């Protein structure tokens, strides 16, 4: 389908700002790897360590959660962006105590996120005392004393919240939730709340498991792969190699996305000679340019076309056996689809009926279909409906729980799925709490806790006044920047366990602590013995990760030891757990995991027997649905797109090719032809013209939500192939525009990808 304009890889934006590149990866990707590795960890040290990434005995890539294929590891099992994430952590630049003498917190607050990150690794504990203008050095001892005093002084443990970001290992995550629950609360907001929570909520409700139902090997057997609301070229580059292989095996790929993302158009595999000099592989056979937030309508259209085909040739299209035996509520679902008019589907999706039918025909002619998706579907008001419509679509032809078929939510952070498996969840189920309590001899709190958005509200209202974060950048990642900053400022104490300096260290509570921790790439020694940790990828495979670089500084601690010492100081007197003993040998933590979490039986032994452990999954392995009825459910969702008043636009906030979440490596976005500034607004050329706007014009963006407005100045217009009425901007720059009240029904995930805005010339 793709028409290649030129066979040269256009990574230099010769054609001006905002001209999408024709091809992804290839030689430019390799040059980028070399540049990042040479400039940060140093070429020899970096390259030697990089070769250990995603290898048996090596460390798990600190980037995304796409799995590697244990049977077919390549010597270089990493991508350009994984290499950047590695180089960023393994940098030789260090932040010493005198840095904080030189810069006041106000000075730091004036710097960009990029500048903060570029200052290097955090190396020693620092404290901001109430009213202080600067951070000053603290000892680990005083830091733990201060936190424990503050926590134990609270009238109620629910006045504290404990955030987790998805790079945390299984061992640290398990110990963290054990500490938090021993302290007495389930207030465990995490990055998942902003990410795939909508997927977990949706899937749990209809198929009885919150995780994806496919293995990596299923991609070899799929006839069709739908990629919805995902930009793997930038965010899961190793997935492109999987798609390329699937394609060679005859699979058809359909991309459903407002943007025709370069990575899905043409891929030059940098690990093959062809990828350097050849034409690359055109990946997507069909691109469906859905309007932002138009997916419920589009998916209903796909289902409608399938049902119509069945009416024409009864008994040949639907998997009637699967529907009858293993699902419920098909009749209500089908009746709703029948009365949903094509006009309504076309109007709300922005896609012509013929194109929807073309996509449906591809699924009809396929024996096995996989649907992959990411943030383009999960960060909307009706995100849960989006995902349940995917399940409806898959179930019509029995595409769940069999080879080459299924649901594949593609996770973000490298261990975000594992953290949830370990109990990082504000809504733990009773069975989990019972097992945890039985093993560690305490009564965990039963009441559900606060998620990310609710934590912001609770800090704003003064209901929460201690906030501690295990990694991440809460301040920059969350919506409504000004509101969230005030909420954090209300806290008596904020604590950040971090590797790199970020916005969350400069927007703080009255007292603030920075606790520097080891990263994935570093050797973790406890009582003289090197430890390893484990992580779970997007497909439920658990494997070991062991760093190979000497730690950036001797004054840092591992996440596990920080948590253990904090727990000892805070709950040591009243808990039966020997925290220090657990932290001195991570095998002991894994024995705890084995006793509490199903699927981890004989955890330590199995880690020595096999390279990775596959966690059980009832749908994938047994075609069993652990729902109340024992069946998978069809569901009915009204088409309720966000209302966009005349003259306004629907804005999505997306990632560039040169960032990892809130860590921005540069102002470039090679595949979208951006090289100078991230303060841009992508809009349809006709929309721009109608507003009297030309390329490069300066504009102000104003978001509108239930009568409230938020404004940001200083964007420049980039005319771009995007559906009419839609605009795109970069995350995290535009988070000040996202109303904290604008969340997904059911999952409470911020609707980062459907914000109503107006665009006015400056």
Ligand X SMILES: Nc1nc2c(c(=O)[nH]1)N[C@H]1C(S)=C(S)[C@@H](COP(=O)(O)OP(=O)(O)OC[C@H]3O[C@@H](n4cnc5c(=O)[nH]c(N)nc54)[C@H](O)[C@@H]3O)O[C@H]1N2
Spatial distance between the Cα atoms of 471 and 517, rounded to a whole number of angstroms: 9
Quick one: what does residue 270 bind among ligand X, Mo ion, none, with the CB cut-off 5 to 8 Å set by partner type? none
Q: Considering CB under 6 A, how many residues would be counted as binding ligand X?
A: 61
Nearer to ligand X, 63 or 739 (CB): 63
Question: Using CB under 6 A, which of the segments 41-49, 497-505, 550-558, 633-641 binds ligand X?
Answer: 497-505
Strand stretches in 567-646, DSSP E: 612-614, 632-633
297 touches ligand X (CB under 6 A): no
Least Å from the CB of residue 222 to Mo ion: 24
Q: Which of residues 48-77 bind ligand X (CB under 6 A)?
A: 63-64
Closest distance of CB 38 from ligand X, Å: 19
Convert residues 323-362 into a mask of x (bound to ligand X by CB under 6 A) and - (unbound).
Answer: ----------------------------------------
Of the candidate residues 481, 522, 753, 759, the single one contacting ligand X (CB under 6 A): 753
Beta bridge partners, 682, equal 718, 728
The count of other CB atoms within 10 Å of the CB of residue 153 is 10
Q: Does 91 bind ligand X (CB under 6 A)?
A: no
Do the strands 726-730 and 121-122 form a parallel or antiparallel pair, or are they unpaired? unpaired
CA distance linking residue 140 with residue 125, whole number of Å: 6
Task: Tell the smallest beta-carbon distance from residue 426 to ligand X (Å).
Answer: 15
Query: To which residue do tokens 């699967």 refer?
Result: 322
Cβ pair 251, 79 in contact under 8 A: no
Q: How far is CA 435 from CA 105, 335, 592, in A?
A: 44, 44, 10
CA dihedral 710, 714, 718, 719 (to 10 degrees): 60
Residue in 759, 732, 726 with CA at minimum distance from that of residue 257 = 726
Candidate residues 58, 67, 404, 412; the one interacting with ligand X per rule CB under 6 A: 412
Residue 234 or residue 369: which is nearer to ligand X going by CB? 234
CA atoms within 13 A on the CB side of 154: 24
Which residues of this chain interact with Mo ion, rule CB under 5 A?
195, 412
Closest Cα partner for 411 from 619, 239, 603, 176?
239
- By a kind-dependent CB cut-off of 5 to 8 A, residue 310 interacts, out of ligand X, Mo ion, none, with none
- Of the pair 235, 570, the CB lying nearest ligand X is at 235
Q: How far is the CB of 117 from Mo ion (least distance, A)?
A: 18
317 binds, among ligand X, Mo ion, none (CB under 5 to 8 A by kind): none
DSSP of 421-434: HTT--SS--HHHHH
**How far is the C-alpha of 159 from the C-alpha of 614, rounded, in Å?**
38
Contact set for ligand X, span 219-278 (CB under 6 A): 228-231, 234-236, 256-259, 261
Residues 96-135 that bind ligand X (CB under 6 A): none
Nearest to 651 by CA among 675, 683, 677, 692: 683
Least distance (Å) from Mo ion to the CB of residue 373? Answer: 13
Nearer to ligand X (CB atom), residue 221 or residue 267: 267
Number of Cβ atoms within 10 Å of the Cβ of 743: 27
Q: Decide whether 632 or 650 has the Cβ nearer to ligand X.
A: 650
Partner touching 223 among ligand X, Mo ion, none, CB below 5 to 8 Å by kind: none
Question: Which two tokens mark 595?
Answer: 């006793």
Supply the minimum distance, in Å, between the C-beta of residue 180 and Mo ion: 21
Helix H or strand E segment including 498: strand 493-498
Among 126, 497, 535, 757, binds ligand X (CB under 6 A): 497
Residue burial 57-74, b: 16+ Cβ < 10 Å; e: rest: ebbbbbbbbbbbbeeeee
Instruction: Determine if 212 is a binding residue for ligand X (CB under 6 A).
Output: no
Are 388 and 150 contacting, i.e. CB atoms less than 8 angstroms apart? no
Q: Please identify, using beta-carbon distances, which residue of 271 and 327 lies nearer to ligand X.
A: 271
Using CB under 6 A as the binding rule, whether residue 389 contacts ligand X is answered as no
Beta bridge partners of 726: 650
Tell me which of ligand X, Mo ion, none is bound by residue 752, counting a contact when its beta carbon lies within the kind-specific cut-off of 5 to 8 angstroms.
ligand X
Per DSSP, 191 falls in state G
The nearest distance, CB 435 to ligand X, in angstroms, is 27
CA dihedral 345, 351, 357, 359 (to 10 degrees): -120
Report the alpha-carbon distance of residue 616 to residue 77 in Å, rounded.
Answer: 25
Any idea which residue has 């955030």 for tokens? Answer: 163
- Nearest-CA neighbor of 389 among 196, 643, 639, 211? 639
Among 537, 659, 748, 758, binds ligand X (CB under 6 A): 659
Question: For 68, which DSSP code?
Answer: P
State in angstroms the smallest separation of the CB of 538 from Mo ion. 11
Q: What is the footprint of ligand X within residues 414-473 (CB under 6 A)?
A: 470-473
558 in the Ramachandran plot: left (φ > 0), alpha (ψ -120 to 50) or beta? beta
By CB under 6 A, residue 517 contacts ligand X: yes
Tell me how far apart the alpha carbons of residues 228 and 318 are, in angstroms, rounded to a whole number. Answer: 22
Question: x/- binding map, residues 359-388, to ligand X, per CB under 6 A?
Answer: ---------------xxx--x---------
Task: Please choose which of ligand X, Mo ion, none residue 421 contacts, taking the beta carbon within 5 to 8 angstroms, the exact cut-off set by kind.
Answer: none
- Only one of the segments 40-48, 102-110, 487-495, 658-666 lies at the binding site for ligand X (rule: CB under 6 A); that segment is 658-666
Q: Which does 229 bind (CB under 5 to 8 A by kind): Mo ion, ligand X, none?
A: ligand X
Give the Cα-Cα-Cα angle 645, 651, 657 (nearest 5 degrees).
Answer: 170
| 295 near ligand X, rule: CB under 6 A | yes
- Report the nearest approach of Mo ion to the CB of residue 528 (Å): 36
Q: Is 662 in the site for ligand X (CB under 6 A)?
A: yes
Query: Is 653 a binder of ligand X (CB under 6 A)?
Result: yes
Residue nearest to Mo ion according to CB distances in the complex = 412
Of 238, 87, 240, 8, the closest CA to residue 660 belongs to 87
Out of 208, 301, 519, 673, point to the residue binding ligand X (CB under 6 A).
519
Stretch that binds ligand X, among 132-140, 188-196, 634-642, 711-719 (CB under 6 A): 188-196
Shortest distance, position 62 Cβ to Mo ion, whole Å: 14
Query: Alpha carbon 511 to chain centroid distance?
Result: 30
For ligand X, the closer of residues 334 and 345 by Cβ is 345
**Distance between first and last Cα of the chain:** 40
Cβ neighbours for 426, distance < 8 A, ≥ 6 positions apart:
186, 187, 188, 189, 190, 193, 448, 449, 450, 451, 454
Q: Which of 397, 546, 655, 672 binds ligand X (CB under 6 A)?
A: 655
* Closer to Mo ion by Cβ: residue 409 or 641: 409
Note the residues at the interface with ligand X (CB under 6 A).
Answer: 63-64, 81, 165-167, 191, 194-195, 228-231, 234-236, 256-259, 261, 290, 292-293, 295, 374-376, 379, 412-413, 470-474, 477, 497-500, 502, 517, 519-520, 559, 652-655, 659-663, 731-732, 735, 738, 752-753
């Amino acid at each position: 389908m793709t028409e290649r304009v030129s066979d040269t890889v256009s990574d230099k934006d010769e054609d001006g700002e905002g001209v999408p590149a024709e091809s992804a990866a290839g030689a430019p990707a390799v040059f980028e790897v070399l540049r990042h590795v040479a400039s940060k960890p140093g070429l020899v040290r970096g390259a030697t360590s990089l070769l250990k990434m995603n290898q048996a005995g090596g460390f798990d890539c600190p980037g995304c959660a796409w799995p590697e294929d244990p049977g077919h590891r390549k010597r270089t099992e990493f991508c350009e962006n994984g290499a950047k994430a590695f180089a960023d952590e393994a940098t030789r630049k260090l932040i010493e105590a005198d840095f904080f003498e030189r810069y006041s917190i106000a000075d730091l607050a004036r710097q960009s996120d990029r500048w903060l990150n570029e200052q290097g690794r955090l190396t020693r504990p620092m404290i901001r005392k109430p009213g202080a203008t600067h951070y000053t050095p603290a000892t680990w001892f005083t830091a733990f004393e201060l936190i424990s005093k503050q926590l134990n002084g609270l009238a109620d443990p629910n006045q504290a919240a404990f955030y987790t970001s998805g790079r945390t290992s299984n061992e640290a995550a398990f110990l963290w939730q054990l500490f938090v629950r021993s302290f007495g609360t389930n207030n465990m907001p995490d990055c998942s709340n902003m990410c795939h929570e909508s997927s977990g909520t949706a899937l749990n409700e209809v198929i009885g498991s919150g995780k994806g139902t496919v293995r990596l090997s299923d991609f070899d057997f799929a006839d069709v792969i739908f990629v919805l609301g995902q930009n793997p070229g930038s965010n899961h580059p190793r997935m492109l190699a999987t798609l390329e292989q699937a394609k060679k095996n005859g699979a058809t790929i359909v991309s459903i996305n407002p943007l025709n993302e370069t990575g899905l158009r043409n891929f030059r595999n940098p690990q093959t000679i062809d990828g350097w000099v050849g034409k690359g592989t055109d990946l997507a056979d069909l691109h469906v340019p859905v309007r932002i937030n138009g997916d419920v309508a589009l998916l209903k259209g796909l289902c409608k076309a399938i049902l119509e085909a069945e009416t024409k040739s009864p008994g040949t299209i639907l998997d009637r056996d699967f529907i009858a035996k293993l699902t419920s509520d098909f009749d209500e679902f089908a009746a709703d689809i029948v009365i949903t008019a094509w006009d309504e589907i076309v109007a709300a999706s922005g896609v012509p009926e013929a194109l929807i039918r073309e996509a449906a025909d591809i699924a009809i002619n396929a024996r096995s279909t996989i649907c992959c998706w990411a943030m383009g579907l999960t960060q909307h008001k009706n995100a849960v409906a989006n995902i349940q419509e995917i399940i409806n679509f898959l179930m019509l032809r029995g595409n769940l729980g069999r080879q080459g078929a299924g649901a594949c939510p593609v996770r973000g952070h490298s261990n975000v799925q594992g953290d949830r498996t370990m109990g990082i969840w504000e809504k733990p189920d009773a069975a989990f709490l019972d097992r945890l309590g039985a093993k560690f001899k305490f009564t965990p709190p039963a009441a559900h806790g606060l998620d990310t958005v609710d934590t912001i509200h609770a800090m704003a209202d003064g209901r929460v006044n201690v906030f501690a974060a295990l990694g991440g950048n809460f301040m920059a990642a969350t919506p409504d920047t000004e509101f969230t900053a005030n909420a954090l400022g209300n806290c008596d104490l904020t604590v950040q366990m971090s590797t790199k300096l970020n916005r969350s260290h400069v927007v703080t509570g009255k007292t603030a602590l920075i606790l520097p921790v080891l990263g994935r790439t570093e050797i973790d020694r406890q009582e003289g013995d090197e430890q390893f940790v484990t992580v779970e990828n997007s497909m439920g495979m658990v494997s070991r990760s062991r760093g190979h670089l000497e730690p950036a500084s001797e004054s840092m601690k591992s996440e596990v030891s920080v948590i253990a010492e904090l727990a000892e100081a805070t709950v040591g007197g009243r808990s039966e757990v020997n925290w220090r003993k657990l932290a001195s040998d991570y095998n002991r933590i894994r024995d705890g995991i084995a006793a509490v979490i199903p699927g981890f039986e004989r955890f330590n032994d199995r880690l020595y027997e096999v390279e990775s452990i596959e966690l059980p999954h009832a749908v994938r392995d047994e075609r069993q649905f652990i729902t109340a009825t024992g069946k998978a459910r069809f569901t009915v969702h009204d088409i309720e797109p966000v209302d966009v008043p005349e003259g306004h636009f629907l804005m999505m906030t997306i990632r560039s090719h040169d960032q990892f979440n809130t860590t921005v490596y540069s102002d470039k976005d090679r595949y979208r032809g951006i090289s100078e500034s991230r303060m841009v607004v992508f809009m349809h050329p006709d929309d721009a013209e109608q507003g009297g706007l030309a390329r490069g014009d300066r504009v102000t963006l104003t978001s509108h939500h239930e009568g409230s407005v938020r404004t940001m100045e200083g964007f420049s217009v980039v005319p771009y192939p995007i559906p009419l009425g839609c605009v795109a901007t970069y995350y995290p720059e535009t988070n000040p525009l996202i109303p904290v009240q604008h969340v997904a029904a059911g999952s409470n995930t911020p609707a980062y990808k459907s914000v109503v805005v107006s665009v006015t010339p400056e």
